[in-house]
């Protein structure tokens, strides 16, 4: 851990105050933001318009609609690829919406690292903030 000198102490105190303020806002607004985040659903339609996929806040598939016109030219591989691509686009948009919901309290880049599971980079970023590097 880095030793903080007199100049660094003021920066560290300011960062601690910012963390305290953010924590208090999380306590006050967290339940409402969490409810908004859980309610996120995104629907995307495939480029050919034959597949429609709705995902929830964690990118989980909650509804899949396949237009009967797919039977006119059956191509299982194309249909599977279309479903996968459509679900992935919907999941990416759902993630963007979750980041937007929490942005008043959590910086977008930090939230994205958390959602993608990149905790190592998140912790490095937080350490940099504590040391006044960001």
Model confidence at 7: pLDDT above 70: no
Model confidence at 2: pLDDT above 50: no
C-alpha distances (whole Å) from 85 to each of 18, 64, 88, 114 are 40, 13, 5, 23
* Average pLDDT for 4-20: 72
**Sheet-wide strand order for 42-45:** 42-45, 51-55, 61-66
**Segment 66-124, tens digit of pLDDT:** 999 999 989 999 999 999 999 999 999 999 999 999 888 888 988 888 888 888 888 88
Question: Read out DSSP for 10-51?
Answer: HHHHHHHHHHHHHHHHHHHHHHHHHHHHHT--EEEE-TTSSE
Report which DSSP code applies to 59. S
**Segment 36-55, tens digit of pLDDT:** 999 999 999 999 999 999 99
Domains along the chain? 36-102 (3.30.1310.10), 103-134 (no CATH)
The residue among 64 and 114 whose pLDDT is bigger is 64
Please, which pLDDT band fits residue 125 given cuts at 50, 70 and 90? confident
Looking at residue 134, its pLDDT comes to 60
CA distance 15 to 56: 35
Please, which pLDDT band fits residue 133 given cuts at 50, 70 and 90? low
Contacts of 92 (CB under 8 A, 6+ apart): none
* pTM of the predicted structure, to 2 decimals: 0.75
């Amino acid at each position: 851990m880095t030793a903080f000198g007199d100049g660094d102490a003021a920066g560290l105190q300011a960062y601690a105050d910012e963390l305290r303020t953010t924590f208090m806002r999380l306590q006050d607004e967290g339940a409402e933001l969490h409810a908004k985040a859980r309610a996120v659903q995104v629907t995307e339609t495939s480029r050919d318009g034959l597949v429609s996929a709705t995902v929830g806040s964690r990118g989980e598939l909650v509804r899949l609609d396949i237009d009967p016109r797919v039977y006119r030219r059956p191509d299982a591989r194309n249909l599977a690829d279309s479903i996968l691509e459509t679900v992935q686009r919907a999941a990416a948009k759902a993630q963007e919406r979750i980041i937007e919901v929490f942005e008043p309290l959590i910086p977008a880049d930090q939230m994205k690292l958390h959602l993608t599971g990149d905790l190592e980079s998140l912790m490095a970023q937080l350490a940099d903030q504590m040391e006044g590097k960001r």
